[in-house]
Amino acid sequence: MKPMKEEKRKVYYIFSPFLRIFHWIMVVAIVTLFITGLFITKPPVVLGIEPTYTSFFTNWVRNIHFLAAFTFCAAFILRIYGFIINKGDRLFPRVWEGHFYRETLDVALHYMLLKPTHAPFLRNPLARASYAGLYVLVLIEILTGFAMFFAKNPNSIGSSLFLWVNVVLCDEMVTHWVHHIVAWLIMVFAIGHVYMVARADIMEAEGEASSMFSGVKFLEHTPLDACELGKESEGK
């Protein structure tokens, strides 16, 4: 029988529903976009099927891709609203404050296995920096994606908003490459992200994974970034 330990922990309410809903929509959308994107680049072989029985496969895949993309962008608006009303949703790393670099170094040394532990955080500064990186990748995907999408009619309003991307990248062909390569980079991020979350959940047992469902984390020591949340988050 495993021994039980009684200890005092504080409950922090961090993530609002806006961030949590957006996060899961983002997960579904990115997986959908990635898989359909691969199909669009290399449509599967249907040679051998009689034309009578084919059913607009590529068209469906493209439409699902576009649907996922628009859902993703729409969900971003929820995310921005959450960012405005809830301090816990403000994940952008505080790069303008000196302690961010100290803390990031501390966490990085731990991840490089040079230090056995790192200081307690509600929202790990290195992770927050990686989310900023992810948002840059996502922004590139949105810009290049819409640049290709709206180019079907170069005289439309959408293309007047996004066609400059093709000009900046010199060539619409380059837009396709960038869109494709950045999609793979997002996958690499996803692997790292899922691993780090699982690792934190197992090693620190502070509710890292469940916080994206419940919005709360349980910490034994006072985290260094608790001040960012304000008083109301504590003990909810």
The Cα–Cα gap between 85 and 93 comes to 18
Nearer of residues 4 and 227 to another protein, judged by Cβ:
4
**209 close to 197: Cβ distance less than 8 angstroms:** yes
Residue closer to another protein by CB (options 17, 192) is: 192
Taking the complex as a whole, the smallest distance from the CB of residue 79 to another protein amounts, in Å, to: 26
Site residues for another protein per CB under 8 A: 2-3, 5, 38, 41-47, 49, 51, 54-59, 61, 111, 113, 116-117, 151-155, 163, 167, 170-174, 176-177, 180-181, 183-184, 187-188, 191-192, 195, 199, 203, 205
> Quick one: 155 or 157, whose CB is closer to another protein?
155
Q: How far apart are CA 193 and CA 199, in angstroms?
A: 10
Q: Tell the smallest beta-carbon distance from residue 170 to another protein (Å).
A: 6
Between 79 and 217, whose beta carbon lies closer to another protein? 217
Residues paired with 234 in a beta bridge: 12
Find the shortest distance in angstroms from Cβ 189 to another protein: 9
Closest CB to another protein among residues 55, 98: 55
What minimum distance in Å lies between the beta carbon of 26 and another protein?
19
Return the number of the residue (85 or 155) whose C-beta is nearest another protein: 155
Q: What amino acid occupies position 139?
A: L
Cα–Cα distance for residue pair 95/100, rounded to 1 Å: 6
Shortest Å, Cβ 14 to another protein: 23
Closest CB to another protein among residues 42, 231: 42
Residue 75 CB, nearest distance to another protein (Å)?
25
Dump the DSSP string for 32-94. Answer: HHHHHHHHHHSPPP-TTS-GGG---HHHHHHHHHHHHHHHHHHHHHHHHHHHHH-GGG--S--
User: Measured from the CB of residue 84, what is the shortest distance to another protein in angstroms?
Assistant: 34
